[in-house]
Amino acid sequence: MSLADFGLIGLAVMGQNLVLNVESRGFTVAVFNRTTSVTDEFVAKHPGKKLIGAKTLEEFVQSLKRPRKIQIMVKSNAVGAADRDAVDAVIEQLIPLLEPDDIIIDGGNSFYLATERRDAYLASKGLRFIGAGVSGGEEGARKGPSIMPGGPASTWEVMKPIFESIAAKVDGEPCVIHIGPGGAGHYVKMIHNGIEYGDMQLICEAYNIFKHAGFTTDEMAAVFNQWNEGDLQSYLIQITGKALEQKDPETGKSVVELIVDKAGQKGTGQWTLLNAAENAVVISTINAAVEARILSSQRQQRLAASTELQGPAVSLGSDKAALVQKVHDALYASKIISYAQGLDLIKTTGEKKQWGLDLGRIAAIWRGGCIIRARFLNRITDAYRGNPTLVNLMLDPFFKDVLNKTQQHWREVVSLATLNGIPVPAFSASLGYYDSYRAARLPANLLQAQRDFFGAHTYERLDKPAGEFFHTDWPEVIG
């Protein structure tokens, strides 16, 4: 067989599906997996496909056309810039086998600062590197994911034909662009995951309200299916409807209602929170979503507290149709806030790192292939195409109008849930952000007084020019 156009290391679920995707576009693909039997079984399972299975890395490297294009899809669990994981192990094994200008692509969920370290390290060895976030799970990898590659523009140009052919397409546009240099691709993937956390939690809060209002799972499924035809149309709403419809063959009960209410997480949400704190950007919706997963995982404590700490009697009324409309609006508004916050974080970091990010194009590649794909991403794309320097998504005319129209129902839902003791941390964090952001005057004047009182931190005055600082001789407090 002739030399391969593309090589992939790591034949777990993502790797295998990506290989089949690349091969289906007419490319010959060389494959390698640490455990050789996995490679053998994979190649044997796909007779007639343009696959070259290699038993050693040497054999793998020699089977590739130059400059070699090698994608690593192995477990990535480094949580700091300096942490080493399987990606580093594979890179170290590859370096002595490669030649100048060969390209290594890390397509795993790597921490963006580890990507920056690897980028600099490989450049010092005369090799090229792309850190690419890949979203869409198993199905996306096979049929067309959303890809967020970062690295030198000249390296992207070499990879562009393969990436564009395997990515999902929306209106004929591939869901992949060159995000920016260095760790920009993995950074944007990290925030994408943070937004995904926000979306999922908001949907769960809507479900929880319906459940407390006495909806059956079939009734809830019907609501989500209907929402998927409108403004909220998205992959996550769609799978929520389908999940709620699913019955357990053993008991006939709803599968969702049989699942233990303890959420797992792999870390990208927490990375997003840490990064937001470092950059002083508010992402309260995503924060609430990550914390909701943490609290859910403390199930034993919650079970004990449920018999100790009191809440109100639940009474959500009997007008289910009205409740559905109100929750729809609360979800729509909160979702806008979640994206506004995530994009604000991307914008802030992008400017600090001078990555030259294009938020409109980033939103455009999330329209297909990835987990957060949603109809309203078209509107986000339009918002930034219309105004590339948009300060906050909430101020775009379309989103401003939606928020102004939905805010009353949003408040009613947060109030109703709170009065009934139903936790809605992401709905209420989103509303708190909205109300704080639109407040012409916040109580931070009193906060400044407190700071000046105990620490002589000084303050500015409304009736004096900005930049002039004052201190008051506050009364002494004894005891």
Enumerate the active-site residues.
189, 196
Closer CB to ligand NBP, residue 90 or residue 204? Answer: 90
Cα separation, 417 vs 348, whole angstroms: 33
Cα dist. 339→392, 394, 399 in Å?
10, 9, 11
Cα separation, 399 vs 343, whole angstroms: 14
Closer CB to ligand NBP, residue 134 or residue 191? Answer: 134
Q: Is the peptide bond before 312 cis (omega within 30 degrees of 0)?
A: no
CA angle 246/251/254 to nearest 5° reads 30
**Which of the 8 DSSP states describes residue 312?**
P
Closest-CA residue to 198 (of 444, 441, 427):
427
At its nearest, how many Å lie between ligand NBP and the CB of residue 82?
Answer: 18
Closest-CA residue to 78 (of 118, 114, 116, 119):
114
Give the 3-state secondary structure of residue 302.
helix
At its nearest, how many Å lie between ligand NBP and the CB of residue 293?
Answer: 17
Closer CB to ligand NBP, residue 17 or residue 430? Answer: 17
At its nearest, how many Å lie between ligand NBP and the CB of residue 92?
Answer: 10
Contact indicator for 431, 207 with CB cutoff of 8 Å: no
**CB-closest chain residue to ligand NBP:** 108
At its nearest, how many Å lie between ligand NBP and the CB of residue 61?
Answer: 15
Give the 3-state secondary structure of residue 73.
coil
Closer CB to ligand NBP, residue 114 or residue 288? Answer: 114
CA torsion angle 399 400 406 411 (round to 10): 120
Closer CB to ligand NBP, residue 89 or residue 259? Answer: 89
At its nearest, how many Å lie between ligand NBP and the CB of residue 59?
Answer: 15
- Chain centre distance of CA 128: 26
Q: What is the enclosing helix (H) or strand (E) of 408?
A: helix 397-419
**Which of the 8 DSSP states describes residue 172?**
T
CA torsion angle 107 112 113 117 (round to 10): 30
Interacting residues toward ligand NBP by CB under 6 A:
10-15, 33-35, 38, 73-76, 86, 89-90, 108-109, 134-135, 137-138
At its nearest, how many Å lie between ligand NBP and the CB of residue 407?
Answer: 35
At its nearest, how many Å lie between ligand NBP and the CB of residue 12?
Answer: 3
Closer CB to ligand NBP, residue 89 or residue 305? Answer: 89
* Residue 279: Cβ-neighbour burial (10 angstroms; 0-12, 13-18, 19+): middle
Cα separation, 194 vs 203, whole angstroms: 15
Q: What is the enclosing helix (H) or strand (E) of 134?
A: strand 128-135
Closer CB to ligand NBP, residue 15 or residue 425? Answer: 15
Name the residue type at position 389: T
Cα dist. 371→137, 145, 192 in Å?
8, 9, 9
How many CB atoms are closer than 10 A to CB 118?
23
At its nearest, how many Å lie between ligand NBP and the CB of residue 199?
Answer: 16
